[in-house]
């Protein structure tokens, strides 16, 4: 994993807002793909995260990338519920200028696919039955 991506996850999990701000470009864009929300600018992205309610935590599951871009798979836990998030960071030169979050909800596979896959709940977020 890139050092920038590791610092990003650590800053968020520790609620180190100054550390987060130091990683972001002045004109960073943060996008939540499912809702279409776009937050622009360092101060707004930090404020968006700072104001997120709850006593949540992040756990990095997997990271793939290089010095300029990283895909992260993380577990976001709040009040005993865990959601799996996929985050795409673009950070050439170690400065994050674009973040895209994906928050997929787990679901049971459709019946038409029953002939092919083996269902392994281990591959789903931890709260799935």
Segment 18-46 shows an average pLDDT of: 96
Residue 38 in domain: yes
What tens digit of pLDDT does each residue of 1-25 get? 689 999 999 999 999 999 999 999 9
Does 129 have pLDDT greater than 50?
no
What residue numbers bound the domain in which 94 lies?
3-106
Nearest one of 75, 74, 70, 73 to 98, comparing CA atoms: 70
Report if residue 121 sits inside a domain: no
CA distance 108 to 91: 35
Residue 119 lies in a domain: no
Q: What CATH number does the domain containing 42 carry?
A: 3.10.450.50
Q: Kindly report the number of other CB atoms within 10 A of residue 88's CB atom.
A: 16
Q: What is the pLDDT of residues 47-103, one digit of tens each?
A: 999 999 999 999 999 999 988 999 999 999 999 889 999 999 999 999 999 999 998
pLDDT of residue 15: 97
């Amino acid at each position: 994993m890139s050092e920038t991506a590791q610092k990003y996850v650590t800053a968020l999990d520790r609620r180190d807002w100054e550390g987060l701000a130091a990683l972001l470009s002045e004109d960073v864009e943060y996008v939540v793909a499912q809702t279409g929300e776009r937050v622009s600018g360092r101060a707004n992205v930090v404020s968006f995260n700072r104001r997120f309610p709850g006593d949540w935590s992040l756990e990095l599951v997997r990271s793939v990338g290089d010095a300029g871009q990283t895909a992260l798979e993380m577990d976001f836990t709040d009040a005993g519920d865990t959601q799996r998030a996929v985050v795409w960071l673009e950070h050439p030169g170690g400065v994050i200028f674009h973040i895209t979050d994906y928050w997929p909800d787990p679901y049971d596979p459709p019946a038409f696919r029953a002939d092919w896959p083996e269902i392994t709940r281990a591959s789903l977020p931890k709260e799935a039955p």
